[in-house]
Amino acid sequence: MKKLSTLSRTYFRTITFLVVVLSVLSVSNALGQSTACVGLDPAGNPATSGLYAEYYTGYFQDNQRFFSTTQPGLARVDGQVNFPSITSFGDIMSIAGVAGSGYNNPDMFSVRQRGSLRINTAGTYTFYFTTDDAAYLWLDNAAANPNPTAGSSLLNNGGIHIIQTVQKAVYLTAGLHNLLIHYGDSTIENVLILEYENRSAGITRQVVPASQFCTGTQPIRNLPSALNYTPAIQTVPAGTTATSVVPTVTSATTPRYVVANASSLPSGLTIDPNTGQLSVSAAVEVGTYVVNVAVTNAEGAVTFDGAYTFIVAAAAPNACAGTRPDGGPATGGLFAEYYAGYFNDDPAFFTAKTPSFNRLDTQLNFTTDNGWGNLATVATFPASNPANPDAFSARYRGRILVEKAGKYTFYLTADDGARLWLDDAAVQASVSNKNAFIDNGGQHPVKMVSATVTLAAGPHDLLLHYGDATSDNRLILEYSSTDAGIERQVIPASAFCSSVSPTRQPVVPIKGSKDLLTVSPNPNSGKFIVHIEQNQPASGQLHLIDVSGRLCFKLDVEGAAKQEVNVSLPDLPVGMYLLRLITADGTSMFKVSVQ
């Protein structure tokens, strides 16, 4: 009987072992990563449900090294990250300062929670991190770093603040993902809540369930480490299709690609899962679309925020003709050039340096730090806020289309230097700050400067310089007009044209002549007035010559100190012309633009 009992126990252990093995195998995903709670917790104990939590005396003050250089006063397992009120943390009197009565409102404490997050279905998950005072969350390899940085965190809710929520969408493969949370409470409230959502997987926004946490930490994975599209921005005329370049990627095994923020993008924006090429269909509406691309391999996935930007540009509105500064056809929006470094209020910066990239911006309405699209090639990013581009500059050129003549007030809101030029002042070969229509220059916090001008109906050249040194980056251009019935508003894309008038080059005399030759209006439709002022009145000839040197118009003029000549050439082709006055005293010239 004793031998039979021994055999029975051996049989039972064998069966139990097989059941455990089969259970682990049954919850392994296609990448071979187990979703069972496995591994050891940070103290070396077998993994259990929940997160391994260490509580510390004192507020960590956003210093991530606090947790590796300070001894915890209390260790326990927290089932969830769900502390919605001042009483939720339970009895932590041994490590916390206490406000109010008993342990109902602990202050001046910090906590580090470690373990794994179980993801059952691969997909894009949006995480919501609600805290008062500083909190950070890391996933995967970043969570396993013994010295994590704020810049590598998935969710950054740092600083002393009232209850607030930050959120972030990230693509995750099925399996266990290392998770690390740092949280600290200074005074008053103490709230710490982690929620997630993935509607395609049937998960509505909810506190992450206890069943999805594991105290065990997982080995470092060999994940994709770099993704680059060159160029990373493409402008597409509305109603057309386009495809990006094939990206370069660093991955130990064969990569596949997913649009990580697909739920916030039009359905006509897709990715080839094998090559990583992005495509935009003709059905996608006008707008700027920043694409986050997740690269997966045999060991997991990494999401690269702002990997590519599609700018779907509006078709050229009525009265928008000519070419862009880069020689392309006119479209809606403004032609934008982005530069590395802060221009420091020097207009020559934009002609002395080469822009890192060009794009079409449909509006000047940058109201948040992270609303600029991918500026990785021109900006620096502080570790405390990796979504905040600093030390970059931009030049915007084009035209504003005025449908009705009248008085218009422009409002230029910026932090750090910004200036606006209009009409002839906007197309000079060398612009001057003193000639700016609106001067909002210098390094300063967000402020608005306005100015009013009377504008004729039609297109008006526009030039805007902007630069961000540090801190916020805001740039908003609005207008209003009582005469035109326009309430104050951000200037719409339909009022912008990306073409510009030819650059005004300083010319007026040869042979020492002091004659003055000008044209109005300029640009024009082939009908214009020539204004002639002569220091030494002399008769002569007026010539209009096209870019090929062909004489298009000739007229004899009298010798008068001042005179005006009406020219009407309605069939003159669009383009640039040279108007030349030839007298015995010399030659004067002026450039004429026909549109």
- Residue 311 vs residue 397, higher pLDDT: 397
Answer yes or no: is pLDDT of 515 > 60. Answer: no
Answer yes or no: is pLDDT of 396 > 50. Answer: yes
Q: What is the pTM of this model?
A: 0.63
**Residue 17 falls inside a structural domain:** no
The pLDDT value recorded for residue 33 is 55
Q: At which of 191, 214, 237 does a domain end?
A: 214
Q: Which residues of 129-140 are buried (b: 16+ CB within 10 A; e: fewer)?
A: bbbbbbbbbbbb
Complete DSSP assignment for 342-400:
--TT-TTHHHHS--SEEEEES--EE-STT-S---TTT-B--TT-TT--BSEEEEEEEEE
**Residue 368 falls inside a structural domain:** yes
Answer yes or no: is pLDDT of 19 > 60. Answer: no
Count of CB atoms situated within 10 Å of the CB of 78? 22
- Alpha-carbon dihedral sign for residues 329, 330, 336, 337: positive
Long-range contacts: 545-548, Cβ < 8 Å, 24+?
545/577, 545/578, 545/580, 546/573, 546/575, 546/576, 546/577, 547/575, 547/576, 547/577
The pLDDT value recorded for residue 298 is 94
Give yes or no: residues 388 and 490 share one domain: yes
Whether 198 and 125 have beta carbons less than 8 Å apart is answered as: yes
- Mean pLDDT value across residues 151-157: 94
Answer yes or no: is pLDDT of 12 > 50. Answer: no
Give yes or no: residues 66 and 186 share one domain: yes
The pLDDT value recorded for residue 401 is 92
Q: What is the CATH number of the domain that holds 125?
A: 2.60.120.1560
Q: What is the CATH number of the domain that holds 546?
A: 2.60.40.3080
The pLDDT value recorded for residue 20 is 35
The pLDDT value recorded for residue 233 is 84
Answer yes or no: is pLDDT of 509 > 50. Answer: no
Count of CB atoms situated within 10 Å of the CB of 102? 10
**Residue 99 falls inside a structural domain:** yes
Half-sphere exposure of 208 (CA within 13 A, CB side): 28
Q: At which of 214, 249, 270 does a domain end?
A: 214
- Mean pLDDT value across residues 126-150: 96
> What would the two tokens of residue 438 be?
């609106």
Amino acid, single-letter form, for residue 271: I
Give yes or no: residues 489 and 575 share one domain: no
Of the segments 12-26, 266-280, 513-527, which one has the largest average pLDDT value?
266-280
Averaged pLDDT of the chain: 87
**Residue 409 falls inside a structural domain:** yes
Give yes or no: residues 64 and 133 share one domain: yes
Whether 258 and 294 have beta carbons less than 8 Å apart is answered as: yes
The pLDDT value recorded for residue 29 is 44
Give yes or no: residues 525 and 585 share one domain: yes
Q: Per-residue pLDDT tens for 177-225?
A: 999 999 999 988 899 999 999 999 999 999 999 999 999 999 999 999 9
Helices (H), 118-268: 141-144
Q: At which of 165, 184, 214 does a domain end?
A: 214
Give yes or no: residues 292 and 359 share one domain: no
* Domain range for 244: 226-313
Give yes or no: residues 153 and 66 share one domain: yes
Rg (CA), the chain: 33
Whether 192 and 131 have beta carbons less than 8 Å apart is answered as: yes
Give yes or no: residues 367 and 262 share one domain: no
In percent, the amount of the chain with pLDDT more than 70 equals 90
Give yes or no: residues 383 and 306 share one domain: no
**Residue 319 falls inside a structural domain:** no
- Mean pLDDT value across residues 373-391: 83
Q: How far apart are CA 488 and CA 214, in angstroms?
A: 54
Residue 586: partners with Cβ closer than 8 Å, 6 or more residues away: 509, 510, 511, 512, 513, 515
Half-sphere exposure of 82 (CA within 13 A, CB side): 11
Listed range (38-42, 379-383, 519-523) with the worst mean pLDDT: 379-383
Answer yes or no: is pLDDT of 514 > 80. Answer: no
The alpha carbon torsion through 268, 231, 352, 439 (nearest 10 deg) reads 30
The pLDDT value recorded for residue 30 is 39
Answer yes or no: is pLDDT of 39 > 90. Answer: yes
The pLDDT value recorded for residue 495 is 93
Q: Per-residue pLDDT tens for 319-374?
A: 788 888 888 788 889 999 999 999 999 999 999 999 998 888 989 999 998 889 88
Q: How far apart are CA 324 and CA 237, in angstroms?
A: 13
Q: What is the CATH number of the domain that holds 234?
A: 2.60.40.2710
Q: How far apart are CA 33 and CA 20, in angstroms?
A: 16
Q: Per-residue pLDDT tens for 227-261?
A: 999 888 888 888 889 999 999 999 999 999 999 99
Q: How far apart are CA 29 and CA 211, in angstroms?
A: 17
Answer yes or no: is pLDDT of 271 > 90. Answer: yes
E strand intervals along 240-361: 242-243, 248-250, 256-259, 269-271, 278-280, 287-297, 300-313, 334-340, 357-361
Give yes or no: residues 481 and 543 share one domain: no
**Residue 27 falls inside a structural domain:** no
- Alpha-carbon dihedral sign for residues 297, 303, 305, 311: positive
> What would the two tokens of residue 481 be?
């007009």
Report strand pairing: 226-228 vs 287-297: unpaired
Give yes or no: residues 309 and 276 share one domain: yes
Q: How far apart are CA 175 and CA 180, in angstroms?
A: 16
Amino acid, single-letter form, for residue 359: R
Quickly tell me which residue has 């077998």 as its tokens: 46
Give yes or no: residues 343 and 417 share one domain: yes
Q: What total number of domains does the chain contain?
A: 4
**Residue 506 falls inside a structural domain:** no
Report strand pairing: 418-422 vs 438-440: antiparallel
**Residue 96 falls inside a structural domain:** yes
Listed range (2-6, 20-24, 429-433, 465-469) with the worst mean pLDDT: 20-24
Verify cis geometry, omega within 30 degrees of 0, for the bond prior to 523: yes
Answer yes or no: is pLDDT of 32 > 50. Answer: no
Q: How far apart are CA 303 and CA 306, in angstroms?
A: 9
